[in-house]
Structures are given as structure tokens and as C-alpha cells.
Structure 1
Amino acid sequence: MVLNATFWKNKSVFITGHTGFKGSWMALCLSSMGAKVSGYSLAPPTDPSLFEVAKVENFLFHSEIADIRDIEKLKSSIGTQKPEIIIHMAAQPLVRDSYKDPIETYSTNVMGTANILEAIRLKGDSVRVFLNITTDKVYENKEWVWPYRENERLGGLDPYSNSKACSELVTHSYENSFFKKEDISKHRLSIATARAGNVIGGGDFANDRLIPDLIRSISLNQSLKIRNPNSIRPWQHVLEPINGYLLLIESMYDSDGIYNGAWNFGPNTNETVPVIEIVHKLQKIIEVCQNSDPSFQLNIPRYEIDNGDHPHEANFLKLDISKAKNQLNWFPKWNIDHALLKILEWTNAYLNGTDIQNICLNQIEEYSRLTTV
């Protein structure tokens, strides 16, 4: 199964968190297929930001800068835009920031989810699909070697992971209280949650994420301190889970609720590698690019191991994607080496002053040739 671009033509799609890294890529992907995209979000979380350097706002039908915790504005926006599809991506997305401000994290990630579901309940008669984008970290991590399946116990030790697990529970509660699957002929709303791994891609300027930190260290000619070199994560290019999310939404639309529930989108098992291997892969790819492309500006990154005390983060995490493979026929397309190459191409273009909007659209087109009809 591949994406049906015709399905998205003129579909009214409402994205929360559209100014973020992942939300910006989502907005560009949807707009490239002809969807009418509305966004509701705080201002871009970083400076610079993908939203601004790629001029994402130019592709939007409507963009509203507002807080997901402001339920009156949220109700008004949904009532006015009358979306058919809502993709909830607004969040406080960083583990280390959640230790610094847990209340901000819980209020955004938990009450923000409750607010949008309440807004749908009160003002969302037009909405046919609600997809809550959470994280691979919602699982109660037992540090075992097996990938986590969608029916594993939710948990999360740190405030971020725990708040996203709570967001899933809120979604499940609203579905069972107000939008039961057996009553879908009346309310017409399908609801699901989607869990992705460590999403990487061009335009991520966040702090305390491996790839952006590496890119910054290269730009500043500084050695990067690696906190958890042996931690294993399900790395994947941002276009991979976005493709999965959109494929899931197509399936949910007019499906009588059979696709409701939780879904994992991650890399194949052999692509789940330690932090230090990502660093070494990046070094090798940069060396190849330097030798083959005279315009390539990036230097090989230097690093050192930081053995200091740090807040708890999971050491071992893999996702079982059998459900998406078997029921959606969704499969990862880009391996980790190709994903890193795309990031380096994006970054080199950015440093060279190239039109970033075109770079994003070209990468989307390249990926879409594998996944869209």
C-alpha cells in the first residue's frame, strides 16, 4: 500500500504543533499533495527554525499562533476551520527539558491532549479522523532486548515519557467515553495514536538531540560531549513516520473504526543502533562527501565521552513494527546511512545559502517516488 495523493487533494487538515520540526515537515508533505492545511501552535520553538527557513507558512491555508492549553481559542479555531482530519503534534518534546520544568511538560502534553479532544467533542462535527502523535518512550521500559509491541504496558519514568503515556490514556478515555467504535455510524470519528522512534532530519535545531548537537559542534568547530554512547535507539528519517501516519489516516477514513488504536512506526531491527555508531557513521559519510563534492562544507565531527551525572534516560529501546507492516503494508524505505546522507545534504545546502524550501520539497519528492501513487 502506498499513499494516494488523490485522497489528500483539498482535504481539510488541522495540525497542532505545525511550527515545530516534525510539524513543519508534515505541513510540507500534506501541502505537496494538495491538502488544505491549517496550523495551530506556539511560535517556532527554536531560532533558527525549519518553519521559518523553509517558509512553511506560505504553504498553509491558515496558521494560528496560540497555546494548545487555551481551550477557548482551540474550540474557536476548530469550529472555524472545520477540519476533516486533525493531527495532534503539539508537545513539549524533550526528556531533559521535562526534568527542568515537569509542570510545563504535563500541562502541555496531558491537558493539551484533553483540550483538543474536548474541542472536537464540542465543535468538531466535521472531524472524521483524529491522530495523536506520541513517542516510542510511552512504554514501561524494562531495558530488555525485545522490541515493544503496541499492547505492551504504558509507563515512562521521566516526566516527558510519562506525560506522553498519559496523553495516550486521555485519548483512549475520550474514545471509550464519547466516541465508541460501535457508535461510529453516529459520530463518524476514528481515533488512533502513533508512536515513532528517534526521528531525525534536516532542519532540527533543538538542543539535547544527538544530530542537531553534532551539526552545531561541526559548525562551531567544537568537540561534542556524548552522554550515553551505548544507548540504543530506533533512528529513522522524519519522512518515514510521516508516511506511516498519513497512510494510517487514509486507512482510518471511512473505516468503521477498524484501524483505531495504537500504532508503532520505526526502523527495521537492524537499523536500531547505539548512539556512538550514529556518530561513526556520520563521520564516514562526511569523509565521502568531502572527497566527492567540492561544495561540501562540513568537517568531520570530533567527540568525547561525557561521564558526568545526567538525568535518567532509557538505555535500550526498540519498536516492533509488525502491525504496521501486516495491516497497513507500511515498510521503512530509507536505511540509517541514507537518512544521515539526506540530513548532511540539507545542512550543507543551508550553510551554502541554498533555497531551503526547494531542498525540503526535493527530498519529499524523492521519498514520495517510493511511496505515493
Structure 2
Amino acid sequence: MDFYKIYQNKKILVTGATGFKGAWLCLWLHILGAKVFAIGYSPNKNKNLFYSLNLHKKIKINILDIRDKKKLTLYVYKIKPQFIFHLAAQPLILEGYKEPYKTYEINTLGTLNILEISRKSKFVRSLICVTSDKCYESNSSTTGFKETDRLGGVDPYSGSKAAAEIIIKTYIESFQKKQKILGIASARAGNVMGGGDKSQNRLIPDIVNSLYKKNKIFIRNPNFNRPWQHVIDPLYGYLILGANLYKDPKKYSGAWNFGTEKNTVTSVLTIVRYAIKNWGWGEVTIKKQKQFYEQTNLQLNIEKTKKILKWKPKYKIKDSVKLTIEWYKKVLNKTTTAEEITKKQILDYMK
């Protein structure tokens, strides 16, 4: 698509680059011919994906803590990016219960630092802060959460994402409208899957680990429904949004949902069964354990994004699971490299 050309030779900063979505985005931007700069954090269980994609040889990576405003400012002003994709976060609900203070600090203060640095700069043109579909307060909606729905959260992770959204909105309302150069947007996506995710207590990595070791797959909430999608779909949306922000910051600043189509939420048990079918073997059992609060049903309303950005998810849930399992099977069995299959899946999507 023509909008891809806007990224050629542009300086782009990706925070959270050593994370799952961050690594996929960095490779995609590199394929598009962008000058990619990356911020990562250590320790990070997903950093192996970043290095297995050979991104450390393709782009410049700086390991630093986004909570450190001084170091972050120095780095951003050194590279002077025109685009910033802010993905750095503490992304896990269970980790939020274990480390609530850390979760709030990373997800709110880190976002605030990025916003403040971008606001004061004269070079950042397009800033996308990636949050989560968990930022909405549960309202038992059957039509899906709209961008204008009330923010909230019962657990620390969800609360931290809602707080980040409030901070983002205040910057848009207070400063962005007075600046004609900088566009600020938040991107809210749901549960993603794809090759290379190694986060703990996340469904797909747990499934693959069990299948590869020929162990039973244990699941704790078989009937929980989620708007599952392949990681490529929301990333495609971020790229469209980033390009539009660059061209017309006033029009495209604000909140955007990148979810699935209506009535496509899928249960955990169904995902497991799809994975087993594509792997060719597997057993599943329900494991009762201490329950933390998680929303039973989640669905984003993507009508605004479809109408204005002309974005919609391309892959159905069966396609997403198939692509994900294919990635793991080939990489784990060493029939291809992580870099080769990730690049192929991105190029196939672009076609």
C-alpha cells in the first residue's frame, strides 16, 4: 500500500522493542526501509525473539529503563525520531497482582515520560502509545467497547492501562491541539498471538511449550472468551495510524480500537483445540487454581477504526492459530529460522 512509503528513510523509535510485539514491529519497519532505533529492557523473557530475528544487526538497540526520564530524554534527543511507537510496558495481568507498584510505575510513568519528551521536542511528528483492551471498565456490553466508553479496571494491570489512557488524553486535550506538528494517539488491542512469544502465564506460549514437550495442556479458564488475533493485524493498524498521524495530526489524534470483527470472540478451550489440530497431537485438562479477577468476556468495537482508518483484521481466528503453530513447529524443529519465517509471514500479509 502507498502509506508504507511514508516510513522509508524515516527515523523511528520503538520502545519495548525486545518484547513480543515490539520485535515483530521492528522487523516490519526495517523491511519498509525505515531507520529504526529501539529501546529494550532487561530482563525480558521475549528478548530472545529480538535477537533470533537478528534485529541487533539491523537496527540500533539501547537497553534502558523508560522510567528513567533523564536517560530517556538524552537518547531521544540524540536520535531525533520523527515517529515513536511506545510499546514498552509491564504486559501481564498476573504479574500486576504480584508487582502492583512496579506495574503502575512502568505503565503510567513510562508513558508520561514519552509524552512529555515528545511534547517538548520539535522533531517528533507521530506518537502512538499502545495500551490495551483491558483499559475499559466492565459494562457487560454485547456490542463491544467503544473508544468513548468509561475507563477503569479491577486489577492493577487494567487500572494502570486506564490511568495511562487518562494521561494520554490530557496531553492531547491540553497540548496537542495547540501544536500543529505533533500527533498523539493511543492504540487499544486485545489478545494477540504469533511466533516467538515466551511470556509466562500466557495461553499460546503455554500451549506450545506443552505440545513440544509432549505434556498435557493445563488451562485455568476454559470458557473465558477473548478477541484473539494474530499479532500482524494490530501492528498493521498501528502502521496505518502512524502514517495518518504524520500527515494530519489534528484529525487522527485520539483513541483507536484494533480488535476483531463482531461476534468473533473465542473461548480459551477452542483456541487450545485449534492448536492441537494444527500441531497434530495434544491433550488438554482443566487445572483448578487460585483465581484472580479477569473479565470473562472482552470485545472491542472497531467501527470507528474501520470507517476512518480503513483498517480491519484480515485473519480469522483459525488462520491466526494456524500461522502461529506453523511458526513454532518450523522453528522448534529447525526446518527454518525465526527470521526467515517471520519475514515471510509479514511479506505474505503485505501482499
Q: Which interval holds the TM-score relative to the shorter structure?
A: over 0.9
Per mean C-alpha deviation after superposition, the further-off stretch among 340-349 and 45-54 is 45-54
- Write the letter of the residue equivalent to 1:272: V
Q: Residues 3, 331 of structure 1: CA spacing in aligned structure 2 closer, same or farther, 3 A cutoff? A: farther
TM-fit CA distance, 1:106: 0.5
Q: Which residue of 2 aligns with 1:230?
A: 223
Unaligned regions of 5+ residues in structure 2, if any? Answer: none
Q: Which residue of 2 aligns with 1:283?
A: 276
Q: Residues 345, 3 of structure 1: CA spacing in aligned structure 2 closer, same or farther, 3 A cutoff? A: farther
- Matched-pair identity in %: 40
Alignment of 1:139-218 (within 5 A): 139-179=136-176, 181=177, 183-185=178-180, 188-218=181-211
CA deviation vs aligned residue, 1:109-154 (integer Å, no higher than 9, x gap): 01111111122233x2100011100011000012333311111000
Q: Which residue of 2 aligns with 1:262?
A: 255
Given that 1:129 and 1:191 are in contact with CA atoms closer than 8 Å, whether structure 2 keeps it comes out as yes
Q: Which residue of 2 aligns with 1:360?
A: 342
Matched, 1:94 2:92: yes
Given that 1:19 and 1:44 are in contact with CA atoms closer than 8 Å, whether structure 2 keeps it comes out as no
Inter-partner Cα distance in structure 2 for 1:171 and 1:138 = 12
Given that 1:134 and 1:193 are in contact with CA atoms closer than 8 Å, whether structure 2 keeps it comes out as yes
Q: Which residue of 1 aligns with 2:62?
A: 64
Q: Which residue of 2 aligns with 1:243?
A: 236
Unaligned regions of 5+ residues in structure 1, if any? Answer: 288-299
Inter-partner Cα distance in structure 1 for 2:111 and 2:31 = 27
Aligned length: 350
Q: Which residue of 2 aligns with 1:329?
A: 310
Inter-partner Cα distance in structure 2 for 1:104 and 1:47 = 19
Q: Which residue of 1 aligns with 2:125?
A: 128
User: TM-score when scaled to structure 2?
Assistant: 0.96
- Write the letter of the residue equivalent to 1:359: I
TM-fit CA distance, 1:44: 5.7
Q: Which residue of 2 aligns with 1:296?
A: none
Q: Residues 120, 165 of structure 1: CA spacing in aligned structure 2 closer, same or farther, 3 A cutoff? A: same
Given that 1:14 and 1:86 are in contact with CA atoms closer than 8 Å, whether structure 2 keeps it comes out as yes
Inter-partner Cα distance in structure 2 for 1:144 and 1:320 = 10
TM-fit CA distance, 1:217: 0.8
Inter-partner Cα distance in structure 2 for 1:12 and 1:211 = 33
Given that 2:11 and 2:35 are in contact with CA atoms closer than 8 Å, whether structure 1 keeps it comes out as yes
Given that 1:106 and 1:163 are in contact with CA atoms closer than 8 Å, whether structure 2 keeps it comes out as yes
Inter-partner Cα distance in structure 1 for 2:186 and 2:43 = 24
Matched, 1:74 2:72: yes
User: TM-score when scaled to structure 1?
Assistant: 0.91
Matched, 1:106 2:101: no
Alignment of 1:268-307 (within 5 A): 268-287=261-280, 300-307=281-288
Inter-partner Cα distance in structure 2 for 1:253 and 1:103 = 34
3-state secondary structure, aligned to 2:247:
coil
Given that 2:20 and 2:46 are in contact with CA atoms closer than 8 Å, whether structure 1 keeps it comes out as no
Given that 1:195 and 1:264 are in contact with CA atoms closer than 8 Å, whether structure 2 keeps it comes out as yes
Q: Which residue of 2 aligns with 1:53?
A: 52
TM-fit CA distance, 1:166: 0.6
RMSD: 1.4
CA deviation vs aligned residue, 1:291-321 (integer Å, no higher than 9, x gap): xxxxxxxxx2222112332111110000111
